[in-house]
Structure 1
Amino acid sequence: MKILLTGAEGFLGWHLRCRVHATTDHEVVPVGRADWSRLAQLAADVDAVIHVAGVNRASDDELVHVNVGLAHELSDALAERRGVPVVFANSIQVGNGTAYAEGKARAADVLREAAVAREARFVDVLLPNLFGEHGRPGYNSFVATFVDRVVAGDTPEISDRPIELLHAQGAAQALLDALAPDSPDSVRPAAHPTSVKAVWDALERFHATYVPSADVPAMEDDFERDLFNTYRAALFPAHYPLALAPRSDQRGRLVETVRSHGQGGQTFVSTTVPGVTRGIHYHLHKIERFVVLDGEAVIRLRRMFHDEVVELPVSGEEPVVVDMPTMWSHDITNIGDRVLTTLFWTDSLFDPEAPDTIHEPVVRTAPQETA
């Protein structure tokens, strides 16, 4: 399936592109701000549309007019595309009386009416509050703001209240599921019940455990794992590698490479001959740790749909931790003249039915658009 994705440069759009790449054979036609003038051309041969583009922080007038205007422009671009379904990333805030809610509700009405005229399906996906890796502080989510503050060592003012949160990968899957012919016309994905204060408390606990010692904090469930991955994304690359503290005596040296507060996971050790590269993949959720125990290597990482490559030289002489951020392709290359010995740890056992290990070169042959 060929999918036109508006808002591809934004937070949810990037997560959706990662999920499509990792879990499907679909082709995405990404539409960013610079592409909007070519919308009709880009939509000319697509099989479906997922409309994520919009604004959620602006004046009241802009919140209404921009979101409604984008819906009109998309509908005009699709006017001749009979039968092409549209999935809309809407919000559970619709109906709460705010300008944002009005803009989203009116945008949904525009898209629905246009779909009826084109004899096409329209699916309204009502998303709760989202969080996830690479959210913008002060814009995408209070979680992104909290992560930014905890990393900076600041404590924000907190007005506690119950809240339901959904990781952006869960939202991405809901949007993909809505493409199915038997999807309901309105979808409201389930979210995780928590509170504002509970989120801050968890982030503080992660930070107090992780940065000083490279210990992996206890995580109660998948929600906390996703919250931890969101936090780790904000640390990378400025706070990596994480130092370890080898212990030596007359017998030799001991290095505690993984201290996990709550889960075991899986540990393995590999040897790599000079010049050989391992890895060359990324993960959507899995936490993966590299520690070089002997030899010289370079670890390279690239955020999906970006071109910049981060390089971290590592040595067995001074073992350090590099935990791979989710949705960053990564590899490790032996750059020394002897065999490289590396310890790898993941927070979960490998499941061949759901490996969460997706092949993707770190260094691409040609630059592509950023997202």
Structure 2
Amino acid sequence: MNILVTGAKGFVGKNLIAELKNKGYNNILEFSRESDPALLEEYAERCDFVFHLAGVNRPKDESEFMKGNYDFTSTLLDLLKKYKNKAPVLITSSIQALRDNPYGRSKRAGEQLLFNYDKKTDAKVYVYRLPNLFGKWSKPNYNSVVATFCHNVARDMDIQINNSDAELNLCYIDDVLEEFVRALEDNPTVDNGYCVVPITHCIRLGELANLIKSFKDSRSNLSVPNMDDALTKKLYSTYLSFLPEDKFSYDLKMNVDNRGSFTEFMRTPERGQVSVNVSKPGITKGNHWHHTKNEKFLVVSGEGLIRFRKIDSDEIIEYRVSGKKLQIVDIPTGYTHSIVNVGERDLVTVMWANECFDPDKPDTYFLEV
């Protein structure tokens, strides 16, 4: 199948082409502003499906709206008719087509071209009125407020909010791609004559700004965003895609002494915290117990011995652990416990606790095993 994608180098186009290739569609005819105009005629003759994504939304002159959103669409459809090519055509319009402004009118005119084309040729058309899109490869200060916020926050730049209570209707690029593939397979989601992406998210502008700022703060407070919330998960992935290339990494606070080190890695209020413990050879750490706090130990390097004793018993229980065989050891409540480095090199242990450390309520009581 030959798939024509106009606007191939744009935000949606780049994501779509990558996903089409992931799904085994390799005969992709890419057309963009930089392409030789003659290619459009060649592609219009050969294509079996058209993703018409090209358009204009931030021109220097308002007259360019009609040129980019209407005239180019008209040219494309005329070429398809010239070669009697009834390939299905999917066009990306906008919810702003409902508005009486130059952009909205140009989008509405482009939609009408498609509907008229459908009536005259009996070719299938899929008209998508998309809300505000966001995701990787979107352009800050151009086609996505999410992109602008992510770009600026990641670089310690100010963001401008005129009305923090303004509601946004957002749609994530991966959800768009899933829907577009359904249309390619002739199974689009249709509502009142228009095709729609079924998954959208509403959020106030001020809430959006605060959430994106919290992603930056998570590097210092080690908090993990709530990935159980679909919008938060998608926004966090988008934020990471805007990190400056020299800022992918960040330092952690290592608590170091002559025994080794202890470094907190991440924390969540719902799922506790994860830390990395390094012990020098011969060193014992722990010798304490908890009422409610419980832990999991995973030795990833070195040789260790984890010892337990119920606080009202003399019996000692031992577990030999090694980075050569990864296994998790649960640390039950009511047992004093320790971990000893019995090897000849550093013992590295990943430790999870069911609650974040609270210095005012540590729930940790010294008692030798």
Assess same fold via TM > 0.5.
yes
Partner of 1:71: 73
| SS of match in other structure, 1:26 | coil
| SS of match in other structure, 2:184 | coil
Partner of 1:358: none
Query: Aligned equivalents of 1:36 and 1:107: distance in 2?
Result: 23
Query: Aligned equivalents of 1:170 and 1:3: distance in 2?
Result: 20
Cα gap change, 1:4/1:155 in structure 2, threshold over 3 Å: closer, same or farther? closer
> Do the aligned partners of 1:149 and 1:156 also contact (CA within 8 Å) in 2?
no
Partner of 2:201: 192
Query: Aligned equivalents of 2:125 and 2:110: distance in 1?
Result: 12
Structure of higher RCO (CA pairs closer than 8 Å, 6+ residues apart): 1
> Do the aligned partners of 1:90 and 1:126 also contact (CA within 8 Å) in 2?
yes
Partner of 2:45: 44
How far the C-alpha of 1:130 sits from its partner, in A, is 0.8
| SS of match in other structure, 2:242 | helix
Cα gap change, 1:263/1:9 in structure 2, threshold over 3 Å: closer, same or farther? farther
Give the share of equivalent positions with the same residue, in percent: 27
Query: Aligned equivalents of 2:273 and 2:143: distance in 1?
Result: 32
How far the C-alpha of 1:229 sits from its partner, in A, is 1.3
Partner of 2:155: 152
How far the C-alpha of 1:92 sits from its partner, in A, is 1.4
Give the superposed CA RMSD. Answer: 2.8
Partner of 2:167: 162
- Deviation track 1:260-300 (CA, whole Å, cap 9, x = no partner) reads 56568999xxxxxxxxxxxxxxxxxxxxxxxxx99xxxxxx
Report the residue type matching 2:127 in the other structure: D
Query: Aligned equivalents of 1:225 and 1:53: distance in 2?
Result: 28
Cα gap change, 1:228/1:82 in structure 2, threshold over 3 Å: closer, same or farther? same
Query: Aligned equivalents of 2:221 and 2:273: distance in 1?
Result: 19
- Answer with 1 or 2: which has the greater Rg: 2
Which residues of 2 match residues 107-256 of structure 1 at below 5 A? 107-153=110-156, 154-159=158-163, 160-183=165-188, 184=190, 186-190=194-198, 191-210=200-219, 212=220, 215-256=223-264
Query: How many residues were matched structurally?
Result: 270
Report the residue type matching 2:52 in the other structure: H
How far the C-alpha of 1:203 sits from its partner, in A, is 0.8
> Do the aligned partners of 2:44 and 2:76 also contact (CA within 8 Å) in 1?
no
How far the C-alpha of 1:87 sits from its partner, in A, is 0.6
Partner of 2:12: 12
Consecutive unaligned residues in structure 2, runs of 5 or more: 276-299, 302-347, 351-369
Q: Which 10-residue stretch deviates more, 113-122 or 161-170? A: 113-122
- Deviation track 1:167-205 (CA, whole Å, cap 9, x = no partner) reads 112122222222233534521223111111111110111
Report the residue type matching 1:57 in the other structure: R
Cα gap change, 1:65/1:45 in structure 2, threshold over 3 Å: closer, same or farther? closer
Cα gap change, 1:205/1:141 in structure 2, threshold over 3 Å: closer, same or farther? same
How far the C-alpha of 1:144 sits from its partner, in A, is 1.4
The TM-score normalised by the length of structure 1 is 0.66
How far the C-alpha of 1:249 sits from its partner, in A, is 2.4
- Deviation track 1:194-236 (CA, whole Å, cap 9, x = no partner) reads 11111111011111122x3665333451211111111111114
Query: Aligned equivalents of 1:31 and 1:235: distance in 2?
Result: 29
> Do the aligned partners of 1:214 and 1:242 also contact (CA within 8 Å) in 2?
no
| SS of match in other structure, 1:126 | strand
1:85 pairs with one of 66, 85, 88:
88
Query: Aligned equivalents of 2:238 and 2:77: distance in 1?
Result: 34
Query: Aligned equivalents of 2:7 and 2:115: distance in 1?
Result: 19
Query: Aligned equivalents of 1:123 and 1:114: distance in 2?
Result: 11
| SS of match in other structure, 2:34 | helix
Cα gap change, 1:51/1:123 in structure 2, threshold over 3 Å: closer, same or farther? same
Query: Aligned equivalents of 1:70 and 1:262: distance in 2?
Result: 52
Report the residue type matching 1:45 in the other structure: R
Cα gap change, 1:197/1:62 in structure 2, threshold over 3 Å: closer, same or farther? same
Cα gap change, 1:197/1:77 in structure 2, threshold over 3 Å: closer, same or farther? same
Cα gap change, 1:60/1:261 in structure 2, threshold over 3 Å: closer, same or farther? farther
Query: Aligned equivalents of 2:176 and 2:63: distance in 1?
Result: 27
Which residues of 2 match residues 187-336 of structure 1 at below 5 A? 187-190=195-198, 191-210=200-219, 212=220, 215-260=223-268, 262=270
Cα gap change, 1:266/1:86 in structure 2, threshold over 3 Å: closer, same or farther? farther
